[in-house]
């Protein structure tokens, strides 16, 4: 992209002359009196030349000395074939986000008319800046993993720039970006430390800058989720709340049922996201519910148990022989629910009991083959 400075010429009266359009910001110099029009909002690419145009051909020898760039930056100076256009091109690049002043000495046209000295300003494009981070600054109880990465969005493409994400304390992470290089995901390969305060600083530098003069363009600090409580609350409602806060997904894709025997809480997950948690009653001592990974083998709305002479509403078998499963509180033929007050306490014969409402919800959500992890 070429940018050109516009000059105004006055011959006894101020006359506005048309300037360059499109990709040019043109400077016109006339043979009499010149008033520069400085467009401070104009920017140039980091490798682009700045072009100055004169209305009449000039004597170029007048400009062999005295062309100055502030702040100092080495540049090539070239003229076009009819000596009406001066190109100032950086030898390497313009420093990103810098306001430059280009000073031209007094000169003459080929008709020996005076061209006064001028100072013209231009601005180099800045490095891309962070537009948004998926976490609010100073966020608490943050849980980051491969399924819930930290996302950083930039105001424009970072093509041609190096992006440096500095996470402190250091952590084993990988990065992904979209094709446009405007959005980056920071994915921890290992679980971040519980209850730890982390600081993320984002730095950017131009890819051709061998000195790596980086600019901080954004950042955030956050504190990860503290470790689960060593003892769960005796209040079942508070315990369910704790489970929702502290239960981490053990599978990142698809549906699965998470059953925490210690907390006596069942949670449903889908694609690594916790959907809901419910109090349960697992097997009592001596008839403990087995721990491990299972799956839903079959389902039935209200099967009859010959062994216990009870109905098992919303039955979901955890083993192929159907001897252990998840179901609503057992129901006597007369409609009485067994163990209404036992949710949150392990009193079953090995099955996992759910309350009225929650059993129906899990039954309708789960499918044959849905994994079940019990621990």
Residues 106, 123: contact at Cβ < 8 Å? no
Residue 26 inside a domain? The answer is yes
- Domain end (from 124, 149, 166): 124
pLDDT in tens, the chain (375 residues): 444 444 333 333 333 333 333 333 334 433 344 333 433 347 899 999 998 888 889 999 999 989 999 999 999 999 999 998 889 999 999 999 999 999 999 999 998 888 889 998 899 999 999 999 999 999 999 988 777 899 999 999 999 999 999 999 999 999 999 999 999 999 988 888 999 999 999 999 999 999 999 999 999 999 999 988 888 999 999 999 999 999 988 998 999 999 999 999 999 999 988 999 999 999 999 999 999 999 999 999 999 998 888 999 999 999 999 899 999 999 999 888 887 889 999 999 999 999 999 999 999 999 999 999 999
Diameter of the chain measured on Cα atoms: 116
Residue 140's pLDDT is 93
Task: Give the structural domain span for 189.
Answer: 130-224
Residue 156 maps to a domain: yes
How many angstroms separate the CA atoms of 240 and 265, rounded? 6
Q: Which of 173, 197, 224 is the last residue of a domain?
A: 224
Q: What local confidence, expressed as pLDDT, does residue 132 receive?
A: 97
Query: If residue 246 lies in a helix (H) or strand (E), which one and from where to where?
Result: helix 236-246
pLDDT of residue 40: 38
Cα(173)–Cα(34) distance, integer angstroms: 59
Beta bridge partners of 294: 372
Place of tokens 């076009």: 80
Q: Are residues 266 and 305 in the same domain?
A: yes
> Within 13 A of 16's CA, how many CA atoms are on the CB side?
4
Which of 124, 156, 183 is the last residue before a domain boundary? 124
CATH of residue 302: 2.40.440.10
We report the CATH number of the domain holding residue 26 as: 2.60.40.3710
Q: Which residues contact 8 (CB under 8 A, 6 or more apart)?
A: 14, 15, 16, 17, 28, 34, 35, 36, 37
Are the C-beta atoms of 45 and 12 separated by less than 8 Å?
no
Length of the chain: 375
Distance of CA 220 to the CA centre of its chain: 11
pLDDT for residue 10: 35
Does any domain span residue 304? yes
Q: What is the CATH number of the domain that holds 144?
A: 2.60.40.1220
């Amino acid at each position: 992209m070429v940018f050109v400075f516009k000059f105004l010429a006055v011959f006894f009266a101020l006359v506005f002359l048309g300037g360059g359009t499109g990709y040019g910001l043109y400077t016109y110099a006339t043979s009499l009196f010149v008033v520069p029009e400085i467009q401070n909002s104009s920017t140039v690419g980091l490798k682009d030349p700045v072009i100055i145009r004169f209305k009449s051909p000039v004597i170029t020898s007048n400009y062999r000395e005295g062309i100055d760039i502030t702040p100092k930056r080495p540049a090539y100076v070239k003229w076009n074939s009819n000596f009406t256009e001066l190109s100032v091109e950086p030898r390497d690049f313009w420093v990103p986000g810098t306001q430059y002043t280009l000073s031209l000495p007094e000169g003459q046209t080929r008709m020996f008319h005076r061209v006064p000295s001028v100072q013209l300003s231009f601005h180099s494009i800045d490095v891309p800046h962070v537009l948004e981070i998926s976490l609010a600054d100073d966020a608490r109880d943050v849980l980051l993993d491969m399924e819930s990465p930290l996302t950083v969005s930039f105001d424009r493409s970072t093509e041609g720039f190096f992006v440096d994400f500095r996470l402190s304390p250091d952590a084993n992470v990988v990065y992904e970006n979209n094709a446009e290089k405007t959005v980056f995901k920071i994915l921890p390969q290992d679980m971040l430390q519980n209850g730890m305060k982390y600081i993320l600083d984002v730095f950017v530098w131009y890819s051709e800058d061998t000195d790596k003069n980086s600019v901080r363009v954004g950042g955030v600090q956050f504190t990860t989720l503290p470790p689960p409580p060593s003892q769960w609350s005796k209040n079942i409602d508070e315990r369910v709340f704790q489970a929702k806060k502290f239960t981490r997904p053990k599978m990142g894709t698809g549906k699965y049922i998470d059953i925490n025997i210690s907390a006596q809480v069942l949670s449903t997950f889908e694609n690594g996201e916790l959907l809901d948690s419910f109090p349960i009653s697992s097997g009592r001592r001596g008839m403990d519910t087995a721990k491990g990974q299972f799956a839903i083998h079959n389902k039935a709305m209200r099967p009859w148990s010959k062994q216990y002479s009870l109905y098992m509403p919303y039955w979901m078998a955890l083993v192929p022989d159907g001897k252990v499963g998840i179901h609503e509180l057992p129901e006597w033929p007369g409609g009485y629910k067994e163990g209404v007050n036992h949710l949150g306490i392990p009193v079953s014969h090995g099955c996992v009991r759910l309350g009225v409402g929650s059993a129906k919800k899990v039954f309708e959500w789960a499918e044959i083959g849905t994994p079940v992890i019990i621990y």
